[in-house]
Structure 1
Amino acid sequence: MKYSVLKIAFLFILFQYGNVLLAQHNSNYPHAHEHEENLSNKVEHLSFKDTFLGSEDNFQVCYPKDHRNFFYMIFLLILLVAILAIFTFINVRKNNKLLGIQNKIIEEKNKDLVDSIKYSLQIQKSILPKQDVVKNAFENIFILYYPKDIVSGDFYWVFSDERYAYVAVVDCTGHGVPGAFLSLIGNNAINKAVKEDGETDPGAILDKMNYYVKETLNQQSEGELKDGMEVSLCKFDKIDNTLYFAGANLSMVYFKEGELNIVKGSKCTVGSVQPHVKGAPTTHIIQLSKGDSYYLYTDGIIDQFGGESSKKFKITGLKKLLTSIYRKDIVSQQKEVINTFEAWKKDQEQLDDVCIIGVRI
């Protein structure tokens, strides 16, 4: 509203100034003697006292009325611009103050959100196996666990009894908070399958996990929620060194007598309705010996961009890395994997959660 009034005033001044210019134009050209006759009507007489001479003299200072109007309008125009500048300054200052308040509110909300996510991290850490549980199950094992965000969509699971040691890596749909929620569901499902239902075969465990995840997410038909998880699960016989493996869209790498082998998981996921999938994932049986190694991993490291050409690490990069370290002790293996991943990624953004587990017999 303020700016509308100013605009009207500005247009009025321009209109008046246009009339002045028109009058001046008409008065300059008709006849010179008419201009001289009317000149006396366009002057003002001002008296000044000559203080230096001590006398009073009359001076005639002639200001044409057109000029007086021109100066008057220039003054009004300057005043108008000054008022407009003041209003603009006040408005900008007000907006900046409002913006500062809004930024502060956003910062406080972001802080609350980050604090909540950090608290969620503590909850997620509570489901991961404790170090003593891991060491009790496997004598030589390393775990590389790099969440992309504060919380992760990847998690690992370890369980053992007197004869068997179980280990799994799980890659849930997405990462961050959504993936972390699914990880809680997946962890609960695998614990129920093994500890409550007593399943021991890796393929049967994954099948039971699939049932529990779909039940929790209320996945009953193909068109419903498609969230799920990919799993790589091993059961190791501590007495005869037999390895049992089953995977849901994840594979396993193992070295037997110095030779690299890859066992691919079944084409299925845990969770979501899959009409094309019939039966439980396949369980593979592998006889290993002392000194052999096997590795479970999610696809985070494979899909990571990096290196001089900014390309994906790919499965070929992982195979090359594992081939170079499998003979080393488990601590050295872990250091090599960490150093290689960091050197590859450098300043590139981490694209996904990363989880790798290596076991040496």
Structure 2
Amino acid sequence: MCVWVATVIAPLLQAYRSLTRFATWVVGFYAAPLLHVVFTSVIAAAGFAYGFARGHLPELNVYITESLLLGLVIIVIIEVYLNDGFHRLGIRTFIPRVRFVNSMFEDGRLKIDREVRDYQKLLNYLTDFGKNRALYGPFHVAVVIATVLVAEYFFVHSGHGGLYLQTAIVTLPIHVLFVYVTADLHMGKYRSLVKRQLFFMGHEPPNEYSISLKLKFASILLVIALSDYILISLLRSEMAKSTGGYTYIIGFSAFSLALLMVLTVLFFSSIFASIKELQLAATSLQEGHDPDFYSQTSDQELATLSSGFFHAAQKVLNYRRDLEQQIREATAHLSEANAELQQKDKEIQTELDFAAEIQKEMIPHRHAPWNALQFGILYEPMQKVSGDFLNIYKKDKAIFALLADVSGHGVPAALITMAANDAFGAAIRHSESPAAVFREVNTQLSEQIKTQDYLTAFLVRIDDKLRITYANASHQKALHYRRKRNTIEAYDTNGLFIGAMADATDTYEEKTSKLEYGDMLVIFTDGITEQVNEAGEEFGLARLQEIVMQNHERSAQQIADAVRDQLHSFAGSSRIRDDVSMLIISVHPQYRQFIEKFNETVGAMKKRMVTDSARLLEDLWKMYPEFPALPFLSARIYYQLQEYELAEKHVKLHLEKIPGDVRATQLLAAIAIKTGNRSRAANLVNRLTKANAEDKITQHLSKKLQ
């Protein structure tokens, strides 16, 4: 059934729309609504008129029917003319309002190139269109009744003129209501278009309305009253007594009820459409979109409500736009500030990189052996710059080894390390006592450090007899591994933090001990022992001692590397939360035998016992390959053996460790002469001559070149 209805009604609706578009093109925008206005009104009015008249007349005369149709044709022609429907024939209406409205449309589409005041005037005319059309209703009825009365007077002479006039009076409200409702509904969408155009032009659409809803409801009640009046008159007439009279009355009742339903639907359709518009607009606004709401209604209450919602929506939208603009501006400011911060951060990072390079130059990451002592260094800052620092100072026949830890991290701590390093260097030049060095540095830093920062430190002096003197300023205890006993001792003394207070000067003390061949001294910061893993467990002193015991046969640097690797493995995914530093000083276990054989090798070389010296040299490389003097001794022996390529290789190794060494440079020049590279030899001799022209070996080399 539904499919059949849709199949039948859909083509009818499409045909009706096509007919409306065609009518708009032919007769113009203002006259086009007459098609359905007149059509619906005539059906309604004619039905009521026929129902009323038929109840009082046995039959309608043919002249009356023809005059009725003539009157309708006259009305249509007059309406088409008044609404400028003959403009294509060159016949224009005399009503300025109609001509203006038609000029604002082209083929049913609103023109968008007019002034604001034109659209405001157009909106007013479109709002009043239904009401103006309704005002023509009495004129329409008057024309029709006039033609009917003329026919009655000149041709029919039935004496029913009064009844015809009464029928016209009864029909008039029905005609006026249908003219108003259909005309007003037709113009709803065009009112919405004009409001949208005004808004797009930057002007608020005015709150235009035609009549009140109260009047609409009153008109429905009037139709009900008229229907009841006609029905009562039919029941009292002769029709009710005739055969089939009640059937006719029931039919008219059904027609009246249907007509009333149509009128009610037309009235409420505009109300429901307005409510639907408000609902969609509210939903759109709630979802954060522009509601694009321009009401079609002309009812006073609904127009006021729609206008109020429109104003509220615009305020919400304006507030949202202002907020979005503020957010955009704030975002732009934040972006600019972020760009500036990034630039500042880049500059700071560059400066930190520069500071880190300076600190790296200050802190040795590798150190050549000194006599029997070998050094292993572990230094890993938590950040680019560190609060830990270490250094090895050579003084006469002894060395000072220092490891210190400044409270805090980052740049402030790094600045203190630089000042402290200079202070320690100066103090060590003036003293042989670690405790005295602490006292002097504490006095100096207490005056320089104005913050709450301080440092802990462990300082040890080791002479060429392997005697040690050490002092501890609240630092981690140093560990002394004794090879003969395979045990570890902890070294500690009294002493407060350095730089915290000037009164701490009297707290520092020192102690002495002695290293044996194969022993090891381990100095470290708490960044190693207090590092935790994922479970919150600390690395601890016991684990560090175990690593030292297990790796005591390895070199000092290899042990430092083993501590680093096992520390990172222990930490796992936990971040390293402090600076990590360690200084290991080991005594070569075969140093005594090495020195004896080294002296024997030097003696054999001087006696030009090249075979013996070469054999002894091979043993030296096996015993202590890190010994600083070994490459130069090897170069001299290979020179005697006339193995100049090996001699040049070893003298270069020596110059890498001691750049500019005069004796090594002289040997390199002699090798160049022997191998025929005279240009290189000349360059080296010229450099030596500029440095010291009185040197006998340099003079000898110069004569050889000549």
Q: Shorter-normalised TM-score: what interval?
A: 0.7 to 0.9
**TM-score, with structure 1 as normaliser:** 0.75
Contact kept, 8 Å, 2:495 with 2:507, in 1: the verdict is no
Matched, 1:179 2:404: no
- The aligned amino acid for 2:388 is D
The amino acid that maps onto 1:214 is S
CA distance in 1 between partners of 2:479 and 2:518 (Å): 15
Which has the higher mean CA deviation after the structures are superposed, 263-272 or 51-60? 51-60
Q: Residues 75, 271 of structure 1: CA spacing in aligned structure 2 closer, same or farther, 3 A cutoff?
A: closer
1:60 maps to which residue? 180
Question: What percentage of aligned pairs have identical amino acids?
Answer: 18
Q: Which residue of 2 is the match for residue 330 of structure 1?
A: 556
- Equivalent residue, structure 2, for 1:49: 34
Q: Which residue of 2 aligns with 1:296?
A: 523
CA apart distance, 1:51: 7.3
Q: Where does the alignment leave 5 or more consecutive residues of structure 2 unmatched?
A: 1-30, 40-72, 80-132, 134-178, 185-210, 214-299, 588-706
Partner of 1:245: 470
User: Is structure 2 residue 324 aligned with structure 1 residue 204?
Assistant: no
Moved over 6 A (4+): 51-55
> Normalised by the size of structure 2, how large is the TM-score?
0.40
Contact kept, 8 Å, 1:268 with 1:274, in 2: the verdict is: no
Residue in 2 that maps onto 1:355: 581
Q: 2:518 touches 2:586 (CA, 8 Å); kept in 1?
A: yes
Say if 1:149 and 1:176, in contact at 8 Å, map to a contact too: yes
Instruction: State how far apart, in whole Å, the 2-side matches of 1:226 and 1:99 are.
Output: 35
Q: Which amino acid aligns with 2:495?
A: K
Q: CA deviation at 1:190?
A: 1.1
- Deviation at residue 170 of structure 1 after TM alignment: 0.9
Q: 1:344 to 1:106 in 2, by over 3 A?
A: same
TM-fit CA distance, 1:293: 0.7
User: Would you say the 8 A contact 2:557–2:584 is kept in 1?
Assistant: no
C-alpha separation between the residues in 2 aligned to 1:317 and 1:125? Answer: 28
Q: Tell me the equivalent position of 2:498.
A: 270
Check conservation: 2:376, 2:558, Cα contact below 8 A.
Answer: no
Q: Residues of 1 paired with 2:466 and 2:528: CA distance?
A: 28
CA offsets 1:292-346 (integer angstroms, 9 cap, x no match):
111011222122222x522222323322332222232334312211111111222
- Asked if 2 retains the 8 angstrom alpha-carbon contact of 1:304 and 1:351, the reply is yes
Matched, 1:284 2:284: no
DSSP 3-state at the match of 2:509: coil
CA contact 1:137–1:165 (8 Å) conserved in 2: no
TM-superposed deviation, 1:108: 1.2
Per the TM alignment, residue 204 of structure 1 is displaced from its structure 2 partner at its CA by 2.0
2:401 aligned partner: 167
Within 5 Å, give how 1:1-361 maps onto structure 2.
Answer: 48-50=33-35, 56=76, 59-61=179-181, 64=213, 65-129=300-364, 131=366, 134-136=368-370, 139-195=373-429, 197=430, 199-217=431-449, 225-238=451-464, 240-250=465-475, 251-256=477-482, 257=484, 258-273=486-501, 275=503, 277=504, 279=506, 281-306=508-533, 308-361=534-587
In the TM superposition, residue 241 of structure 1 has moved relative to its aligned partner by 2.2
Return the alpha-carbon distance in structure 2 between the equivalents of residues 186 and 360 of structure 1.
Answer: 26
Shift in Å, 1:126: 3.0
Task: Encode CA deviations 1:103-134: one digit per residue, 9 max, x unaligned.
Answer: 111111111222222222222223224746x4
The aligned amino acid for 1:209 is V
Offset at 1:143? 0.5
Verify the 8 A CA contact 2:439 2:505 in the aligned structure 1.
Answer: no
- Say which SS state the counterpart of residue 200 (structure 1) adopts: coil
Q: Which residue of 1 aligns with 2:275?
A: none
Q: Do the aligned partners of residues 76 and 229 (structure 1) sit closer, same or farther apart at CA in structure 2, a change above 3 Å counting?
A: closer
Moved more, 281-290 or 170-179: 281-290
Report deviation, 1:274. 5.8
Q: Is the 2:459–2:471 contact (alpha carbons within 8 Å) kept by the matching residues of 1?
A: yes
Deviations 1:66-93 (A, max 9, x none): 2332233333333333333333332322
SS at match of 1:124: helix
Secondary structure of the 2:526 match is coil
Q: Give, in whole Å, the separation in 1 of the partners of 2:577 and 2:469.
A: 31
Q: Relative to 1, partners in 2 of residues 1:91 and 1:209: Cα closer, same or farther, differing over 3 Å?
A: closer
- Deviation string 1:150-197 (CA, Å, 9 cap, x unpaired) is 1111111111245212211011222211111111121111111122x1
Question: 1-side partners of 2:350 and 2:378: how far apart?
Answer: 25
Q: Contact 1:243–1:288 at 8 Å: present in 2 too?
A: yes
Per-residue deviation at 1:139? 4.5
Q: Is this contact kept in 2: 1:204–1:280, CA < 8 A?
A: no
Partner of 2:108: none
Would the aligned equivalents of 2:560 and 2:582 in 1 still touch at CA under 8 Å? no
Cα displacement string for residues 190-222 of structure 1 (whole angstroms, at most 9, x for unaligned residues): 111122x1x1122222222222222434xxxxx
Cα gap change, 1:166 to 1:137, in 2 (>3 Å): farther
Cα distance in structure 1, aligned partners of 2:38 and 2:505 = 122
Aligned residue number for residue 199 of structure 2: none
Q: Is the 8 A contact 1:137 1:160 kept in 2?
A: no
Quick one: distance in 2 between partners of 1:259 and 1:183? 33
Secondary structure in 1 aligned to 2:386?
coil
Q: Alpha carbon RMSD of aligned pairs, Å?
A: 2.8
Mapped partners of 1:192, 1:51: distance in 2 = 111
1:310 and 1:329 map into 2 onto residues whose CA distance is 32
Q: C-alpha separation between the residues in 1 aligned to 2:376 and 2:463?
A: 19
- The structure having more radius of gyration, on CA atoms, is 2
Aligned counterparts of 2:571 and 2:528: Cα–Cα separation in 1: 9
Specify the SS of the correspondent of 2:385: coil
The one-letter code matched in structure 1 to 2:180 is Q
The answer to whether the Cα contact below 8 Å between 1:202 and 1:234 also exists between their aligned partners in 2 is yes
94 and 347 in structure 1: CA distance in 2 versus 1, 3 angstrom threshold: same
- Give structure 1 stretches of 5+ with no counterpart: 1-45, 218-223
What amino acid is the match of 2:510? T
For 2:433, the aligned partner's letter is: D
CA distance in 1, matches of 2:550, 2:448: 42
In 2, Cα distance between the equivalents of 1:181 and 1:278?
22
Q: Distance in 2 between matches of 1:318 and 1:294?
A: 13
